[in-house]
Structure 1
Amino acid sequence: MITSLLIANRGEIACRIIRTARAMGIRTIAVYSDADAQAMHVAHADEAVHIGPSPARESYLVGEKIIAAAKATGAEAIHPGYGFLSENAAFAQAVIDAGLIWVGPGPDSITAMGLKDAAKQLMQDAGVPTTPGYLGDDQSLERLAKEADAIGYPVLIKAVAGGGGKGMRKVDAAGDFADALVSCRREAASSFGNDHVLLEKWVTNPRHIEVQVFGDTHGNVVHLFERDCSLQRRHQKVIEEAPAPGMDADTRQAICAAAVRAAKAVNYVGAGTIEFIADGSEGLRADRIWFMEMNTRLQVEHPVTEEITGVDLVEWQLRVASGEALPKRQEELSINGWAMEARLYAEDPAKGFLPSIGRLETFDLGDAYRIDTGVEQGAEISPFYDPMIAKVTAWGADRDAARLSLAETLAGSAVWPVRTNAGFLVKALEHPAFVAATIDTGLIGREGDALLAAQRPSDDALADGAAALVHGGDLNGFRLNAPHKRDGHFLLDGEPVTVRIGDTTKDGEGADSILIAEGGQTWELTPWRAAGVEGAGAGDGAILSPMPGRIIAVSVGLGEQVTKGQKLVTLEAMKMEHSLIAPFDGTVAELSAVDGAQISEGALLARIETGDES
């Protein structure tokens, strides 16, 4: 058995591998870039080696540095995780040539499945059903256009070296083909250094079904059943589940047997995934499911397979890499219940899913069934790497139980101030089509705005938060059934809001801020700090600007007598007007506010004094 292992990766997958390796008594070595010096995977490993600057191309993608780190620390083996160098045949060979154990398939297997056109031809020869299309060497526009006409529109142009949704174009009509081909080739050349393409028939109601396979060095290959990864956004998986809904026993047998044939065709060793595309217009049928590609590594969504089979796939990887036979035979593997995984990203769906970076002041995913993450509260979300910060997995006796459990966990999450897609995920899990399992890869693209979460909390949640903020304590115990209510002025994520608060009898000093978590969204509610705003109540009578803005009205003069609640100054900020009022009866002792002036946050605008001040 391997006794020391270097993980050539970062984040949640590095932590995941370390967890299993440690349980097996294997010493672990992490590698890290400048940005990851304080990362969780570095802290969890037995040893860690710095390999370069923050950009991946200068650290995690430099194979020579990783091999040197393994040599320097006495590591016996290298586990690539997924992404980065995991499917790089040259790196795998370099690891082997350095006298180290490569935890993954052989370089020849990676090469055989690395180019989509060659892999598709190989699968056809092995009797694996493939999507109708064109795989030829003639890459001229004339030949490709002729083949597209023969296949029938719509067709899909795919870069042969593509992946991750790059180098793919759907073409609906012959007149659009030439421009789409140019665009696809340009993206493929930029991303993969190879502009060759293949053509496939576009499947109208596509479902993404994949089968987990595993091989050893003794000639054994098994499958661990299928996963459904049809819920995607721009070709990126969002929610995965196992088993696939609507999969009957005969269809499962056919697709899983085809996956095993595919793995055997390339003498596959280790964990791999055979990806299929299914035409779901008439349900899942064996004659309507075709080979798409093979991923020669552990998949991001491997936890759902682990949860329904009870198998630790990383443990199997390490045992197989050590020369052991597969721990179980095919007949010993079975499906138990249902599992779903959601990918939690540091991104803001309300702003076009732009990545969100910064410090995780709050990172609370509650009592999730399973969380795979590489960050913790207080960690920094870096702009250098993939924005996925956690995988949240739920298990249930059936699909609906797993779905409801996952939705409940995500809805109760609280992450701040980094934005996440948790609210978007909750909406997706609750969408009628997903509930009914009538899903295809275009669902998110069609529904779009319907899956965006609310931009502010419900009135009840906002009122409870405001009451807790004013009266002290947390969100528990504050209800809106008090007979006396008043308006309170607050800032919700910096935007002014007025909230109707019920008077409470709960004692406690007001807090500086409070987080409201609802439906997977998190907001920060803060008091309106200006003394002149009702409910803020500074004792010295100073009227301060609560935010940058422009004064549009000064309603009082210096020395004027005012009464509590009287309007003093009107401020325009954040496209809204805000009235600053007298906190008590008194005299305008100072007045620096000038109509039309631009002022900064915290600027003194006026001061009210009572008649008894000395």
Structure 2
Amino acid sequence: MFKKVLVANRGEVAVRIIRTLKEMGIQTVAIYSTADQNALHVQIADEAICVGGPKPQDSYINMKNVISAAVLTGSEAIHPGYGFLSENDLFAEMVGDVGIKWIGPRPETIDLMGNKEHARNEMRKADVPVIPGSLGYIHTVDEAREVADEIGYPVLLKAAAGGGGKGMRFIYKPEELKENFENAQAEAEINYGDHHMYIEKVMLDCRHIEMQVIRDQFGNVVCFPERNCSLQRRNQKVMEESPASSMTPENRADMIDVVTKAVNAIDYENTGTIEFLQDQEGNFYFMEMNTRIQVEHPVTEMVTGLDLVRLQVLVAAGEKLPLTQADVQIKGHAIEMRLTAERSDANFAPSAGKVDFVFLPTGGPGVRIDSALYSGDMIQPFYDSMIAKLIAHDDTREEAIAKLSRMIEETTVSGVSTSQDFQLEILKDQGVLNDEVTTKYLENVFMPKWEAAQAEKEEAAE
């Protein structure tokens, strides 16, 4: 087992990883930017080393500086968390080249599955159902038009590299194609240094269902209960839950078979998540694979009682998985919502500054808060706006929603604006309560009502 691990991240995910490493008796090393010198992950790690200035490119994604920090501190492994360098195959390769273990899949696997078109082709070879779309890269508007005409509108343009909604455009009719293609391609080039695009059919009234999986170097595979991540704003997940009520035991068994087949086909190692779209008939189709731990992994941990980060570390250290598929049981229901430092009443503008006071409701059964927030903390303008994840677990979905609502109501953060009111309204929405949510529900149904309510408040205040 490793004696010392460097955590190449910040915020709540760095704190969460450091806690498990400490419980495993492993020494921890935090990295930080000059803006984060007083951050919680820096305070709780056994060692901490500055890797550069406040901008991510100068620190958290400065590959040479991060690797130098690992070498200087004698770290035997690097855990990347999610975001930043977590799906950078070059960085993973550089880590291995200096004799440090990467807690994640092999660099060539990250490269393969990180390119969405290559991933789709690989899944087709493995007989995994894939959303209809282009069979290769789309380079020009004319090529895009030809594929769109063949599969039918609406279509979704996607950057082959990267994720998080960048370089993505929904096209509902032919006349929208040219301008959107050029804009999406330019955005992909700016964000990923890669202009390659592909097209897939837009599947309407679908749910976003994903399954986390782990595979060790001996070929043992364990799949975890699926997560429903359909509630999304601007292609970003807002709420995640497990299990998905739209999944029957037969659906779940089929998905486990497909995911197992997929990871075996690419000789995957460590944990990852395969994301699917599920139609109204229960059929599911491969979208992409994230080759890392995910933001929403706590809901999986809550319904299984397993520590996924611990399993990651064990597999990276060359050990066999200490459990089999039969050991994974679903216990109750878990829901997660992301608290962000944003002004939800002002088109979700970011809110940075000093946190004067914070209270997060950490007590009671089935309550979990993943956060690095504390009174006196500084919310920096350089990083993602998420400041906490609130996770509730109970016997049923209804009870979990009630618990999560109570948790959000109790949450108090002063000094910066948060998405607290927005989250509460979501949990009161009848469509959400009835679990009638598809990937476009928030955008097409909830947001118009929310925006109208905000406009009424502004008028009343004038």
Give the structure-2-normalised TM-score: 0.96
Question: For residue 194 of structure 1, what is the aligned residue in structure 2?
Answer: 194
1:393 pairs, out of 391, 402, 410, with 391
Question: Any conservation in 1 of the 2:159–2:185 contact (CA below 8 Å)?
Answer: yes
Question: For residue 381 of structure 1, what is the aligned residue in structure 2?
Answer: 379
Moved over 6 A (4+): 452-455
d(CA) in 2 for partners of 1:84, 1:51? 14
Matching residue's letter, 1:261: K
1:237 aligns with 2:237: yes
Question: For residue 401 of structure 2, what is the aligned residue in structure 1?
Answer: 403
Matching residue's letter, 2:235: H
d(CA) in 2 for partners of 1:271, 1:453? 42
d(CA) in 2 for partners of 1:364, 1:452? 28
Gap change, CA 1:125 and 1:27, over 3 Å in 2? same
1:433 pairs, out of 414, 428, 431, with 431
Secondary structure of the corresponding residue to residue 231 of structure 1 = strand
d(CA) in 1 for partners of 2:131, 2:155? 11
Question: For residue 308 of structure 1, what is the aligned residue in structure 2?
Answer: 303
1:293 pairs, out of 285, 288, 296, with 288
Per-residue deviation, 1:179: 1.6
Gap change, CA 1:454 and 1:327, over 3 Å in 2? farther
1:317 aligns with 2:312: yes
Per-residue deviation, 1:132: 0.7
Question: For residue 64 of structure 2, what is the aligned residue in structure 1?
Answer: 64
CA deviations over 1:464-490 (Å, ceiling 9, x no partner): xxxxxxxxxxxxxxxxxxxxxxxxxxx
Matching residue's letter, 1:371: I
Question: For residue 465 of structure 1, what is the aligned residue in structure 2?
Answer: none
Question: For residue 171 of structure 2, what is the aligned residue in structure 1?
Answer: 171
CA deviations over 1:74-128 (Å, ceiling 9, x no partner): 1111101110000001110111110111111011110110111110000000010
Gap change, CA 1:441 and 1:189, over 3 Å in 2? same
Question: For residue 40 of structure 2, what is the aligned residue in structure 1?
Answer: 40
Question: For residue 340 of structure 2, what is the aligned residue in structure 1?
Answer: 345
Question: For residue 535 of structure 1, what is the aligned residue in structure 2?
Answer: none
CA deviations over 1:373-430 (Å, ceiling 9, x no partner): 1121110101010010000000010111111110111022111121100110111111
After superposition, residues 59-458 of structure 1 pair within 5 angstroms as: 59-137=59-137, 139-280=139-280, 282=281, 285=282, 288-367=283-362, 369-446=367-444, 447-451=446-450
Question: Rg larger in 1 or in 2?
Answer: 1
CA deviations over 1:530-569 (Å, ceiling 9, x no partner): xxxxxxxxxxxxxxxxxxxxxxxxxxxxxxxxxxxxxxxx
d(CA) in 2 for partners of 1:367, 1:95? 37
Question: Any conservation in 2 of the 1:157–1:184 contact (CA below 8 Å)?
Answer: yes
Question: Any conservation in 2 of the 1:424–1:453 contact (CA below 8 Å)?
Answer: no
Question: Any conservation in 2 of the 1:423–1:452 contact (CA below 8 Å)?
Answer: no
Per-residue deviation, 1:364: 1.0
Matching residue's letter, 2:78: I
Question: Any conservation in 2 of the 1:424–1:452 contact (CA below 8 Å)?
Answer: no
Question: For residue 464 of structure 1, what is the aligned residue in structure 2?
Answer: none
Identical aligned residues as a percent = 45
For structure 1, which runs of at least 5 residues remain unmatched after alignment?
459-494, 498-573, 576-614
Per-residue deviation, 1:225: 1.8
Matching residue's letter, 1:436: N
d(CA) in 1 for partners of 2:98, 2:77? 10
Q: Which has the higher strand share?
A: 1
Give the structure-1-normalised TM-score: 0.72
Secondary structure of the corresponding residue to residue 402 of structure 2 = helix
Secondary structure of the corresponding residue to residue 161 of structure 2 = strand
d(CA) in 2 for partners of 1:453, 1:366? 31
Question: Any conservation in 1 of the 2:138–2:196 contact (CA below 8 Å)?
Answer: no
d(CA) in 1 for partners of 2:302, 2:151? 40
After superposition, residues 473-552 of structure 1 pair within 5 angstroms as: none
Question: Any conservation in 1 of the 2:117–2:137 contact (CA below 8 Å)?
Answer: no
Secondary structure of the corresponding residue to residue 118 of structure 2 = helix
Per-residue deviation, 1:453: 11
Per-residue deviation, 1:138: 5.6
After superposition, residues 575-590 of structure 1 pair within 5 angstroms as: none
Per-residue deviation, 1:139: 2.5
Per-residue deviation, 1:165: 0.8
Per-residue deviation, 1:233: 0.5
d(CA) in 2 for partners of 1:138, 1:348? 37
For structure 2, which runs of at least 5 residues remain unmatched after alignment?
none
Question: Any conservation in 2 of the 1:221–1:260 contact (CA below 8 Å)?
Answer: yes
Matching residue's letter, 2:77: A
Matching residue's letter, 1:358: G
Moved more, 114-123 or 217-226: 217-226
Moved more, 128-137 or 296-305: 128-137
